[in-house]
Chain A
Amino acid sequence: MHPVYYPKSHIAPAARLYSSMQIDLTEEQKLLRETCREFAEKELRPNARRWDREHRYPADTVKKAFELGLGGVAVPAEWGGAGMDNVAYALAIEEISRGCASVGVTLSVNNSLYCDPVLKYGTDEQKERWLKPFATGEKLGCFGLTEPQAGSDAAEQRTTAVRKGRSYVINGTKNWITNGPVADAIVLFTMTDLSKGTKGITAFVVDTTTPGFLKQKADEKLGICASPSCTIFFENMEIPAAQRLGGEGEGFKIAMSSLDGGRIGIAAQAIGIARAAFEEARDYSKVRKTFDVPIAQHQAIQFMLADMATELEAARLLTLRAASLKDRGLRHTRESSMAKLFASEAANRVADKAVQIHGGMGYSKELDVERHFRDARITEIYEGTSEIQRLVISNALLK
Chain B
Amino acid sequence: MFEADEHQRLVQETARRYAQDALAQVAAQLDREGRFPAEQLRELAELGMMGVNIPEEYGGAQAGAVAYALAMMEIAQGCASTAVTMAVTNMVGETIVKFGTPEQRRRYVPELTSGRFAAGSFGLSEPSGGSDAAALRTSARRDGSGWVLNGEKQWITSGDRAGVIIVWARTQPGSGSHGISAFLVEGGQKGLHLGKREDKMGLRASSTVSLAFEELRLRADQLLGEEGHGFAIAMAALDGGRVGIASQAVGIGTAALRASVKYAKERRAFGHPIGDFQAIRFMLADCDTQLEAARLLALHAAGLKERGRPFSREGSMAKLFATETANRVCDVAVQVHGGYGYIDEFPVERHYRDVRASTLYEGTSEVQRVVISRDLLKDR
Give the interface of A toward B (CB within 8 A).
Answer: 1-8, 10-16, 19-24, 87, 282, 285-286, 296, 299, 302-303, 305-307, 309-311, 313-315, 317-318, 320-321, 324, 335, 338, 341-342, 387, 389-391, 393-394, 397-398
Contacts and interface: CB of A to CB of B under 8 A. Distances in A.
Interface string B65-78: 11000000000000
A313 B264 contact: no
A204 B372 CA distance: 50
A302 B296 contact: no
B14, B285, B288, B317: residue with the most chain A Cβ atoms closer than 10 Å: B285
Given A5-B14, A398-B275, A22 B293 contact: no
Contact of B306 (A4, A21, A282): A21
Nearest to A343: B293
B107 interface: no
Contacts of B22: 1, 3
B304 A22 contact: yes
A387 B282 contact: yes
Given A4-B47, A22-B304, A306-B373, A317 B11 contact: no
A299 B4 CA distance: 38
A112 to B, nearest CB: 19
Contacts of B65: 19
Contacts of B320: 306, 310
Interface string B52-88: 0001100111111110000000000000000000000
21 contacts: A2-B43, A5-B13, A5-B47, A6-B10, A6-B14, A11-B14, A19-B66, A302-B369, A302-B373, A302-B374, A303-B369, A310-B317, A313-B314, A314-B321, A320-B2, A341-B289, A342-B289, A342-B290, A394-B288, A397-B285, A398-B281
Contacts of A299: 370
B190 interface: no
Contacts of B369: 302-303, 306-307
B48 interface: yes
A21 B300 CA distance: 6
A328 to B, nearest CB: 9
Contacts of A338: 288-289, 292-293
Interface string B9-52: 01101100110011000000000000000000001001110000
B259 to A, nearest CB: 13
A2 B290 CA distance: 36
B18 A5 contact: yes
B3 A20 contact: yes
The B contact surface, by secondary structure, is helix
Interface centre among A335, A338, A341 (most CB of B within 10 A): A338
Given A20-B5, A282-B376, A3 B18 contact: yes
Given A19-B65, A318-B293, 17 more contacts: A6-B13, A6-B14, A11-B14, A16-B306, A21-B302, A23-B1, A23-B300, A302-B374, A303-B373, A305-B377, A306-B376, A307-B369, A310-B297, A313-B314, A338-B288, A394-B281, A398-B264
Which 5 A/B pairs are nearest by Cβ-Cβ distance? Answer: A21-B303, A302-B373, A394-B281, A8-B48, A306-B372
Contacts of A310: 297, 317, 320-321, 372
B2 A321 contact: yes
Nearest to B25: A1
B294 A305 contact: no
Given A20-B5, A305-B377, A317 B285 contact: no
B370 A302 contact: yes
Contacts of B207: none
B268 interface: no
Interface string B216-239: 000000000000000000000000
Contact of A313 (B265, B299, B317, B374): B317
Contacts of A302: 369-370, 373-374, 377
B48 A398 contact: no
A393 B264 contact: no
Contacts of A313: 297, 300, 314, 317
A305 B320 CA distance: 13
B284 interface: yes
A393 B300 contact: no
A317 B293 contact: yes
A315 B47 contact: no
A135 B328 CA distance: 44
Contacts of A393: 285, 288-289
B303 to A, nearest CB: 3
B244 to A, nearest CB: 15
B335 to A, nearest CB: 15
Contacts of B307: 19, 22
B306 A309 contact: no
A270 B1 CA distance: 22
Contacts of A390: 281-282, 285-286
B300 A317 contact: yes
Contact of A306 (B289, B299, B368): B368
B194 interface: no
Nearest to A323: B1
B267 interface: no
A271 to B, nearest CB: 12
A11 B48 CA distance: 8
Nearest to B298: A21
A394 B285 contact: yes
Contacts of B296: 314, 317-318, 321
Contacts of A398: 261, 264-265, 275, 281, 284
Contacts of B196: none
A19 B48 contact: no
B7 interface: yes
Contacts of B372: 305-306, 309-310
Contacts of B300: 21-23, 313, 317
Contacts of A7: 46-47
